[in-house]
Amino acid sequence: MQRQHRPGLGPRRDRPAAERQQLPLPGHPQQHHDQRNRGHAVDLLGEGPAVALVTGQRPSGAPRPIYLTTFLTLVAALLAALLVSPDSASAAGVSDVRTVHTNQETEGDGPRVPDIISTSANNAVVAWREGTLPGRVDEGYIRYSYTTDGGAKWSHPKVLAQETSEYLWHYVTLYQVGDELFAYLGRTPVLDDSETDGDGNNDNGLPINDIVVKRSTDQGHTWQDYAVDMPLDDPATAADEGLGNLAFAGRPLQLANGDHVMPYWASGRENGVLYSTDLKKWVARPAIPDPNKYMGGEPQLTVSQDDPNKLVMVARSNYAVSKVSAVTATSADGGLSWTDWALDSNVPSNDSKVFFTTDSAGRYLTIANTSLDASAYRKVLNYKVKSPGKAWGAAKLFADGPADDPTPAGTGAGWDTYPMADEYAPGKFFVVWEHDTSAIKVSRLDISDT
């Protein structure tokens, strides 16, 4: 049962730390929902108590020999450092880097495009696509792994969606509502006689001819089919059933009234949101206007830190237009209308996916590739933070792994790219990304002191 917070009372002290984004409707107070009530609007009425480190002194005794005094001084300094130094879960910056999965023998383009959801500071699940066939990219089968100890160890990968003789899988996107997790998977056919190479095979993961959803009620350990109605155009028919090649690359959001919006991109680089009241039937809302042909891709959706009634969409831009900046747009009506796409010089993008979110304290966090070197454009990930009412902070290094490539395909040498993240405590995130098209990696990122 959801506990109600009454005005005038302080926040519950047993409230879990991390709180999910909620978009208040016009006229509503700013609202969030906590870990225990994900999917339900809960008023944020205050802040937790300040925490201080208190130390005491013991009266000194008889004079000590100088060597003993020196030794004790060193011990005291060490103990003091241990007392005041935060642990890996609270230390600022990147920590606890782990490899969830490695596949150096894979065919295709290897383990790629991961996503992550955390249900607590100890529990998280990662899903990704695993390549299968030589010379064929953006397709494979979907695997997942979970942790129950904060990311120190990860389960042996399991299959979320297997490839068959008829179809493969293009992407996976995760979403949490209350105690349920959802995985949205784009399916693509094995054969495609429309490609110009004439071999009859699907070599690029398109068209997307179905969207399959899986649901988990045990923190991502097991999954079951979940029927949905998506506005996807079926390429096998002449009818226009909806959006062609409908794809998801960013986290959905739940509005304060309980409805859901999910960022999409589709044929022609159309971007917008799907809208649902029940997680079953999804309806496409109008696309973001793009008069300058920025052609946004892999959009991320979040709540504006300046106005809790506004949505913000952030996407990679067309490389031919900008090698530096992402594009952004805003909506004040839940995605029914949008401002035009516009370049944002504060948000980097270099022809690859940009992660962008608003944390529970209202800070913007973006993680993206920033190198202008065409030969290394996906090899370094940096992150930036913007606190409410302040300018963007300087970019900081997030990941830059070895440049050698152990895979037989030889693709993505040294890549650190395609990040996704999920907040498990205020300002603290699990982050997943792909390395070298041969590994899925996870770390913690702490921006709570920003």
- Predicted confidence (pLDDT) at residue 235 exceeds the cutoff of 60: yes
Q: Which among 233, 297, 250 has a CA at the least distance from the CA of 271?
A: 297
The least confident of 15-19, 266-270, 276-280 is 15-19
CB environment 27-36: b (16+ within 10 A), e (fewer): ebeebbbbbb
CA distance 392 to 42: 29
pLDDT at 350: 85
CA distance 255 to 24: 6
- Predicted confidence (pLDDT) at residue 13 exceeds the cutoff of 80: no
pLDDT at 239: 87
- The answer to whether the beta carbons of residues 197 and 190 sit under 8 Å apart is no
- Predicted confidence (pLDDT) at residue 19 exceeds the cutoff of 60: no
76 three-state secondary structure: helix
pLDDT at 59: 35
CA distance 288 to 295: 10
* Tokens coding 419: 């990040």
71 three-state secondary structure: helix
392 three-state secondary structure: coil
- The answer to whether the beta carbons of residues 45 and 7 sit under 8 Å apart is yes
Per-residue pLDDT tens over the stretch 77-114: 443 333 333 333 333 699 999 999 999 877 778 999 99
**What mean pLDDT do residues 399-428 have?**
86
DSSP 333: S
CA distance 177 to 280: 13
Per-residue pLDDT tens over the stretch 242-274: 999 999 999 999 999 999 999 999 999 999 999
C-alpha 429: how far from chain center: 9
- The answer to whether the beta carbons of residues 398 and 445 sit under 8 Å apart is yes
CA distance 67 to 57: 21
The CB-side HSE value for 321 (13 A sphere, CA atoms) comes to 18
- Predicted confidence (pLDDT) at residue 21 exceeds the cutoff of 70: no
Per-residue pLDDT tens over the stretch 146-202: 999 999 999 999 999 999 999 999 999 999 999 999 999 999 999 999 999 989 999
Per-residue pLDDT tens over the stretch 323-357: 889 999 999 999 999 999 999 999 999 889 999 99
Q: Which among 189, 151, 243 has a CA at the least distance from the CA of 430?
A: 151
CA distance 433 to 367: 10
pLDDT at 231: 98
pLDDT at 410: 64
Pick the CATH number of 93-446 from 3.30.1330.40, 2.120.10.10, 3.30.540.10, 2.40.50.250: 2.120.10.10
- The answer to whether the beta carbons of residues 114 and 418 sit under 8 Å apart is yes
Q: Which among 167, 174, 274, 267 has a CA at the least distance from the CA of 231?
A: 274
CA distance 83 to 73: 15
- The residue type found at 432 is V
CA distance 164 to 250: 26
pLDDT at 409: 63
pLDDT at 321: 85
Which residues, at least 6 apart from 385, have a Cβ–Cβ distance to it below 8 Å?
363, 364, 365, 392, 393, 447, 450
Instruction: Provide the mean pLDDT of the chain.
Output: 83
pLDDT at 370: 85
Polymer length in residues for the chain: 450
Per-residue pLDDT tens over the stretch 22-71: 444 333 333 333 333 343 332 322 333 332 222 233 333 444 444 444 44
Q: Which among 227, 331, 336, 234 has a CA at the least distance from the CA of 283?
A: 336
CA distance 420 to 422: 7
pLDDT at 236: 86
What residues does 356 pair with on adjacent strands?
A: 366
The DSSP result for 226-279, as a single string, is E--B--B--TTSSS--SBTT-B--S--EEETTS-EEEEEEEGGGEEEEEEESSS
Domain boundaries, the chain: 93-446
pLDDT at 39: 39
CA distance 181 to 424: 15
Cis peptide before 207 (omega within 30 of 0): yes
pLDDT at 320: 83
Most confident of 72-76, 134-138, 149-153, 400-404: 149-153
pLDDT at 428: 98
